[in-house]
Amino acid sequence: MPTEKKSKFIVFEGIDGSGKSTQVKLLASKLLKNNISHVLKKEPGDTIIGDKIRKLLSEDSDMSSLTELFLFSAARKELVDKEIIPALENETLVILDRYIYSTIAYQGYGRNIDLEYIHHLNKMATSDLKPDIVFLLDIHPEISSSRIDSKKLDRIESESIEFYSRVRNGYLEIAEANPNTWMIVDASKQPEQIHTQIWDRIY
């Protein structure tokens, strides 16, 4: 008889201002309340090297699209090897705020880098580790941009509505092509309503 996999790998994706981080926090606090042990991580970062890369990526400096791609991939390699794989091997529930799909959407659809290169790099960085569930917090870029404080925008958040429309379309294409794994959530709804939808999908 096949043994049931105890670990679960859950990913959250969405454009900046979609409310993704709020949902991650709501889920983590509900898991805590229910005594369900879990590991919560965020890309890029959450390793010594990854945190340095995150800082580099957010600084307001001129950076080529390929440099950006390599930096996100390097941060991901560190996180997957040092945190995600060990946690899953330990049969822990892993929640990850952004994963390979951010690179496909932002660097692929947003920056127009060849998707074949990106798929190859993503595979190298993750040993092709795939999540069990991906929640896409979907929202129109006009709405998401109004949620972000315009005085605190970082390098990527300062991109145009057109850029974010391409990123959003990229996410929707991936989600629609993978309906068994992906759940598209209407991120313009109330946070508690979205949270209930997410919880019901997991449990």
Among 19, 26, 78, 106, binds ligand TMP (CB under 6 A): 106
Binding mask 144-183 for ligand TMP (x = CB under 6 A): ------------xx--------------------------
Does 115 engage in binding with ligand TMP (CB under 6 A)? Answer: no
Q: How many residues does the chain have?
A: 203
Among 11, 19, 71, 102, binds ligand TMP (CB under 6 A): 102
Q: Determine the Cα–Cα distance for residues 173 and 177; give it in Å rounded to an integer.
A: 6
Judged by CB under 6 A, which stretch of 103-111, 131-139, 142-150, 180-188 contacts ligand TMP? 103-111
Among 9, 10, 11, 16, binds ligand TMP (CB under 6 A): 16
Rounded to the nearest 10 degrees, the angle between the axes of helix 65-79 and helix 48-58 is 160
DSSP assignment of 94-142 equals: EEEES-HHHIIIIIIIIT---HHHHHHHHHHHHTT---SEEEEEE--HH
Q: 21-60: which residues touch ligand TMP (CB under 6 A)?
A: 43-44
Q: 59-98: which residues touch ligand TMP (CB under 6 A)?
A: 72, 98
| Under 8 Å between Cβ of 155 and 61 | yes
Judged by CB under 6 A, which stretch of 24-32, 101-109, 125-133, 141-149 contacts ligand TMP? 101-109
Could you identify the residue written with the tokens 């970082």?
Answer: 154
- CA nearest to 111, candidates 64, 60, 44: 64
Residue 90 Cβ vs ligand TMP, minimum distance, rounded to whole Å: 24
Pick left, alpha or beta for residue 51 (phi over 0 → left; psi -120 to 50 → alpha; otherwise beta): alpha
The nearer residue to ligand TMP, 43 or 78, going by C-beta atoms, is 43
The backbone torsions φ and ψ at residue 96, rounded to the nearest 5 degrees and listed phi first, read -125, 125
Residue nearest to ligand TMP (CB): 106
Residue 3 Cβ vs ligand TMP, minimum distance, rounded to whole Å: 32
**Count of Cβ atoms closer than 10 Å to residue 29 Cβ:** 11
Interface residues with ligand TMP (CB under 6 A)? Answer: 16, 43-44, 72, 98, 102-103, 106-107, 156-157
